[in-house]
Amino acid sequence: MPIRIPDLLPAADVLRSENIFVMPESRASTQNIRPLEVILLNLMPKKIETENQILRLLSNTPLQVNIKLLRIDSRVSKNTPKAHIDSFYRDFDKIKTQNFDGLIITGAPLGQVDFEDVYYWEQIKEIIDWSCEHVTSTLFLCWAAQAALYHLYGMEKKTRDTKLSGVYQHRTLHPQNPLLRGFDDMFWAPLSRYAEFSALSIEQQSDLLVLADNQTAGTYLAASTDFRQIYITGHPEYDVDTLDQEYRRDLSEGLEPVLPENYYSDNDVTKPPVASWRSHGHLLYANWLNYCVYQQTPYDLHSLTPRSE
């Protein structure tokens, strides 16, 4: 939340130069406040686990957020009870005439599948297009980021020979950007993907700004200049044991996975994993909600303007 100070107080310029959000009294006195309306399109197989992870990060803010869960895959889930999905998830047709402050599209275990072969690819494209007119800011996570880059910018899917798995240290490239307020110069974040996200390709083939990267793993965070689309290529929402579960699952399936990097104590799989990303995960989501959603969205969602082409 912003600091509210008198319009002409000298501290305002100093604080702004330090990338601290300052709101003058003249603006604060005219600001209307209401709960934010956010949609979560959950594409992960273990939906309840993913709900818990995402909602945990969304809750770490003084803003009031109303969450609606969205589904597009009508097939019976192997990992989530049908009663849970029927009780808490909505179909896209029920909400597509409405506007929303925020949309989160999760990753999906589809890194080695061509987009056109994805069962719900046509629905994903429809929702991405819909979000450009009906959502103030959309957060694309991991596979969803790759899908949106392909659909919106024509960036061809690039797949690594080996999976990136582990916790990687990333550089903060534009510390003055609101999404990175409060970030350290270097921060850790979990990755679990085959997708290749080249910072050079993103800068050459889109109008996005790359905000954080890793020399080996490529782009971690990118955004449009108007914050209507935010791309996160990792999983700041992961629990401490999520990568461990994925590693042991792949082992049991005979896939010979690589040991997740910078994850287990002393890189010893017999020792417990260490969470080194929680604080920056919470900060990233709080910044998104505040600066890309709350500060950008109209009080009356009916007046939301489509994304400029």
Q: From the annotation, which residues make up the binding site? A: 163, 192, 249
| Catalytic residue status for 280 | no
User: Which of the following is catalytic: 37, 134, 142, 170?
Assistant: 142
What φ, ψ does residue 153 adopt, rounded to 5°? -120, 0
User: Which of the following is catalytic: 37, 51, 134, 237?
Assistant: 237
User: Which of the following is catalytic: 235, 280, 282, 292?
Assistant: 235
Binding site residue list for substrate: 163, 192, 249
| Catalytic residue status for 235 | yes
| Catalytic residue status for 174 | no
The residues that are catalytic are 142, 235, 237
